[in-house]
Chain A
Amino acid sequence: MGYGTFSVDSYQQARRDYGVTQSTNVTRQAEERARQTGHLSEIVDPAVSPIRRSKIRLNPRRKKWIATLGCPMDIEVSCDTTGSMGGEVDTEMNVLPELYDAVAKVLPGYDPQLCLGIFGDCGDDFVMCRPQFEMEAPKIVNYLKEMAPQRGGNGNHGEDPQYAMFARAYLTDAYTNRIGLKGYHFIVTDEPYHNHLRREEIRRIFGSEIFENELKDMRSELPSVDDMVSELKRKTHQFVLVMSDYYYNDTIDLWSCLCGEKSVIIIDSTSQLPAVISAIIGLTEGTIEVVELEEHLGLFGNDRLIRQLSSIDIGAQAKLRHALPHPVPKAGDIFANKGDIWPIRPGEASDDDKSVEPPDRIEYL
């Protein structure tokens, strides 16, 4: 993958460095610390820094900027850690190299950036942990070990993943969205959601000043959960991966009703995440075909899963890509300014090119 991206060696080294040598209970210390202090580690606490970013990586070159890797692709996975799913961070930690490798294979030329978070219930002390989008193993390992799953759930028929969805919909700055593509958002759960967004919970999760700063547009009115999902779908290819041993029978129906049947996939175990997530991304990007699914899924390739995956919106990202006014940026592309959305086309501007003075507009204050 080259310098600065994920590698198995750096992953293993990071686990040694951070003392995450056991394959279970990787969050033990963070949980204990959160219990004692009443605070999450600030690197996974959305209240400390509510906006998460997925940016194209640039390096300066002669007053312009060169893309060191391809277009970033933001992939957010938010995992239920209530009740029987309390140990899912362990699984995420253990399948991480496999996950990165699998998504990198179906995203050739892209810079996959992962945000692996967790959510629980508003009845818990901590409703969610959400780290930054990253591609380097030591950082992701560090984020995962700093999560504080509560393992509760409040026994109230449903959890509160809607705030994780809210975060991607309204509190994410993703390069994909700026150029007209969509990132990927996955909820992994075995329970339904609660059909409400509450102002006090949003303040609790994302910080007391959130409506004064990042969410000024929502000062007077919050979106409904349906509207929030519409916004999430406008920005991401959104999926809910429901564990097959779900407790409540209406889990699938409720999620299908909210997100659409095509977005709800039943899985048997979270160890399937690398295979399933990469299959979904590959099909959406058009880099794998339905006929390749069985081979792609390997041991996990049962008929139910293949049937479900075959019914997702295949090639949806490819369609968006074809409609873009420019090719998707690739490593080596030059940007005139750091804030530019698109790179310079070959021959479009010389090194001496200066920005054009804006016309002197008449503006009243």
Chain B
Amino acid sequence: MLEKIYVVTDLGPGDGGKGSIVHTLSCNLDASVIIKRGGAQGSHGVRTSYGENFNFSQWGCGTLEGVPTFLSEQMVISPVGLSNESEALKRLGIYDPFVLLSCDPACISATPFHRISSQLEELLLGDNPRGTIGTGVGQAYRMSKTLGEAATIRAFELKNREIVRTKLQKQLDYYRERYAKISRKDGLPNDAELIDENLSLLYDDGFLPYCLDLFEDIGKKLRLESLDEVLKGDGLGIVECSHGVLTDAETGLKPHVSAIRTLPKFTTEMLRTAGYDGEIVNYAVHRAYEIRHGAGPMPTYDPEFTSRMLPGSHKDENRWQGIVRAGALDLNLMRYALDTSGDVTFDGLCLTWFDQVLACNRIWSLCINYKNAPATGESYVDFLKRAEPNIIEYFIEKPILKRELFEFIGDTLDKFLNIPLKLLSIGPTELDKVSSNKE
């Protein structure tokens, strides 16, 4: 049985730096396995001290250290993504990345038809976007709830060409009917080509056979395993979750949420249900400032702060997630995330990207509360749209010892949030992390 399991959860809307933290824990704890939950659309960046960079989606962030990944039942996988990611890992010198991957047989597979639907839905929202990665993970999850098993492809079915063909056809028929009356005029003028592209794929008869070949290939490569088998292993495990607490389907900042449950209590539930009775340690991850790709309330958003902290980021806008925004670290949003995390108490916080604060102007800005309050009956999300942040600034003296910096930040966060700082990231690699102990 795994001796201990660390659960790494993003306390914000995502983009907190989970990749770097999971990689660091993998190195420092000599982890045995990474258990993934969430969606295949995440992009968790890792940079190693030996000079390699990779953005992981479905392989865990310990892959470059030889730590195997298990895709849990709570993960929506993407066969197309697996194919692309394995090719990219091969180019990094991992000869057979599938040796380092196993998957729960019941995992739901997102398909290119889900991606088409995801993009069309967002395009049809026009200038009132919800924000999405546009890969179809949410659509796959929702379809599994609405159409049930008849249209849901599970991991164990991937190599069965006939079953996949039947279910893909079902998905295709469903979406063709759903978007039968849609045309390029139903979105913003600038989106007309994207709408056309997605609709033409939906009616391309060669597309389904292409998907079939790819799914069959991935089905043959993917090793199936159950969670209880994985938990029987030795050593330490790390659960790497996608998204963030603020994008939880129920308690997140609606409507800018994902289709899945992102709270750590669902991880605990999954592990306990599988028979795990060992120690579970919950770590929250957050950047040293607020960041958000795409739509959603962000009271501390400051364009000047964004261009100062993330120079050139205005070019990062994409149609699905929208522009990147940054602002002072919002302790109110963090408190909200901590409060909505259910019965789970976080054992510590990993604060990332502090090197950007040091490289910028050494001013660490914190929004400790809001100057105004919600009106009676006003939803929290509506209030956030007009909340006026009360910001305080700390200047980080120069020079300062790493240990002194860690203690100062730890004391400050403890004062406002009552959560101990466990790891402080002052650079991209695993060697650039300061910890409170040998972890």
Contact = CB atoms under 8 A, between A and B. Distances in A.
Instruction: Say whether A associates with B.
Output: yes
Interface of A: 4, 53, 55-60, 63-65, 68-69, 132, 173, 175, 209, 212, 337-340, 354-355, 357-358, 362-365
B427 to A, nearest CB: 10
Contact of A55 (B48, B49, B92, B431): B92
Nearest to A60: B66
Interface string B265-306: 000000000000000000000000000000000000000000
17 contacts: A53-B92, A55-B91, A55-B92, A57-B94, A58-B95, A59-B94, A59-B96, A63-B67, A64-B66, A132-B91, A338-B93, A339-B49, A339-B52, A355-B30, A358-B431, A365-B396, A365-B426
A59 B95 contact: yes
A363 B426 CA distance: 12
Given A59-B94, A212-B312, A337 B402 contact: no
Contact of A58 (B30, B93, B399, B431): B93
Interface in B391-422: 396, 398-402, 405
Contact of A60 (B27, B100, B438): B100
Nearest to B94: A58
A173 B143 CA distance: 43
B30 to A, nearest CB: 7
Given A58-B93, A58-B94, A339-B51, A364 B66 contact: no
B358 interface: yes
A64 B67 CA distance: 9
A183 to B, nearest CB: 15
A65 B405 contact: no
A262 B66 CA distance: 44
Contact of A364 (B30, B64, B401): B401
Nearest to B312: A212
Given A365-B401, A365-B405, A365-B426, A4 B95 contact: yes
A55 B96 CA distance: 13
B66 A338 contact: yes
Interface string B42-84: 0000001111100000000000111110000000000000000
Contacts of B401: 362-365
Interface in B91-111: 91-96, 99-100
B64 A339 contact: yes
B96 A354 contact: no
Given A57-B93, A338-B93, A365-B398, 14 more contacts: A53-B93, A55-B93, A56-B93, A60-B68, A60-B100, A173-B51, A338-B64, A339-B49, A355-B30, A363-B401, A364-B399, A364-B400, A365-B399, A365-B401
A339 B92 CA distance: 10
Contacts of B30: 63, 354-355
A83 to B, nearest CB: 33
Interface residues of B, number: 32
A175 B50 CA distance: 12
A94 B242 CA distance: 46
A65 B50 CA distance: 15
A354 B235 CA distance: 13
Contact of A337 (B65, B94, B100, B426): B65
Nearest to B32: A63
B400 A339 contact: no
Contacts of B91: 53, 55, 132
A4 B90 CA distance: 11
B436 to A, nearest CB: 14
Contacts of A58: 93-95
Interface in B171-218: none
Contacts of A55: 91-93
A95 B358 CA distance: 55
Contacts of B95: 4, 57-59, 68-69
B55 to A, nearest CB: 12
A353 B358 CA distance: 36
B99 A339 contact: no
A342 to B, nearest CB: 12
Contacts of B399: 364-365
A365 B358 contact: yes
A194 to B, nearest CB: 30
Interface centre among A173, A362, A365 (most CB of B within 10 A): A365
A60 B402 contact: no
Contact of B66 (A63, A175, A362, A363): A63
A349 to B, nearest CB: 14
A338 to B, nearest CB: 5
B405 A339 contact: no
Interface in B20-36: 27, 30
Contacts of A173: 51
A212 B311 CA distance: 10
Contacts of B51: 173, 339
A363 B438 CA distance: 18
A365 B402 contact: yes
B84 to A, nearest CB: 12
B64 A60 contact: no
A245 B65 CA distance: 52
A357 B68 CA distance: 23
Interface in B116-165: none
A209 B312 contact: yes
Nearest to A132: B91
Nearest to B67: A63
A362 B30 CA distance: 25
B50 A60 contact: no
Contacts of A362: 401
B400 to A, nearest CB: 5
A338 B65 contact: yes
- The list of the 9 closest CB pairs from A to B, nearest first, reads A339-B50, A55-B93, A364-B399, A57-B95, A60-B66, A68-B95, A59-B95, A63-B66, A338-B64
B171 to A, nearest CB: 27
Contacts of B438: 357
The listed residue with most B CB atoms (<10 A of its CB), out of A58, A60, A337, A357, is A60
B188 to A, nearest CB: 22
A340 B438 CA distance: 23
B356 to A, nearest CB: 13
Contacts of A358: 431
Contacts of B65: 337-338
B400 A365 contact: yes
A340 B50 CA distance: 8
A364 B68 CA distance: 36
A289 B394 CA distance: 70
B66 A65 contact: yes
Contacts of B49: 339
